[in-house]
Amino acid sequence: MEHMWMTTKTWLALLLLLGVAQTQAKPQGKSRLPSFLTVCYRDLPTLNECAKKSFKSLKPRLMDGIPEMYIPQMEPLVVPEVKMDQDSGAIYLHSVYKNVKISGISNHTLNELRIEPSKLKFIFSMTFPELRMEAEYSIKGKIMMMPLLGDGHCKVNLTNITMQTELFGQEYQKNGATHLKIINVKVEYTLSDVKMQLDNLFNGDEALGKRMNDFLNENWKSLAEEVRPLMTKALVDIMRASVDKMFAEYSYDELMPKKNK
């Protein structure tokens, strides 16, 4: 579940850089974008190639974060708090994760990055061979009729996570300039393995805690499917809110201007 918050930040970073490349000329006039960014043009056929090169060339800087663009440090990515709740199907859980630290983001593969300016559509896919998460957790509920209760330290390792995301934008006017906002997000994801360890389950009962951890690790596939709708909805909501903040700050013409006006 927690990897969704990491990927939200990663997709935001990627989207922020869709209009950035080393091979394109900067637009005329003073830009509010960071000086190390160079803008791609949305009406040139090289837009997608430009965006891919941009993301790859700025990968080292992304790991340290780009405050001007609302991108935090990503290795490790630190999230103060994550809440995950579900009360339908075979899972009834209320959980909170604090001081979440996620490592492994720097080792990723960009599978696809495609922009369709005429449709205001952004498509991208990334694969992470391994993501490692640590946090302080508190959880209460039931999984497949089995009680689950605990608070303490937890570790989660995720293997081969691939996410395909489509964002659909809409133009609107703000202070005489055209801005974008996200009106729809579609997400699909796959992963090949999950390993987790929840310390201090059932008030420190080691025997019960071991049995529950074994159960979670043995049945992660079916459990992941149970929470897939919740995870997808959470990602969509968070991504829309995060990207809209950036789009509200920078106009469409600042991020991806037209070469031929």
Predicted local distance difference test score (pLDDT) of residue 233: 74
Inside any domain, residue 232? yes
Predicted local distance difference test score (pLDDT) of residue 137: 96
Q: What is each CA distance from 136 to 73, 111, 197, in whole angstroms?
A: 20, 33, 12
Predicted local distance difference test score (pLDDT) of residue 176: 94
Domain count, the chain: 1
Inside any domain, residue 228? yes
Q: Tokens for 246?
A: 């950036």
Inside any domain, residue 184? yes
Q: What is each CA distance from 24 to 21, 27, 40, 42, in whole angstroms?
A: 6, 9, 6, 11
Predicted local distance difference test score (pLDDT) of residue 235: 67
Q: Which residues pair with 170 in a beta bridge?
A: 181
Inside any domain, residue 100? yes
Structural domain harbouring 210: 77-255
Q: What's the first-to-final CA gap in the chain, in angstroms?
A: 45
b/e burial code for range 22-54 (CB count within 10 A of at least 16 → b): eebeebeeeeebeeebbbbbbeeeebbebbbbb
**CATH code, 200:** 3.15.10.30
Predicted local distance difference test score (pLDDT) of residue 192: 95
Inside any domain, residue 189? yes
Predicted local distance difference test score (pLDDT) of residue 12: 41
- The whole-model pTM stands at 0.77
What is the mean pLDDT of each successive set of 10 residues along the chain, which is 261 residues long? 39 40 36 75 93 82 77 82 80 89 88 94 93 94 91 95 92 94 89 95 96 94 81 70 79 89 70
Inside any domain, residue 26? no
Inside any domain, residue 59? no
Predicted local distance difference test score (pLDDT) of residue 26: 36
Q: Are strands 177-190 and 146-174 parallel, antiparallel or unpaired?
A: antiparallel
Inside any domain, residue 6? no
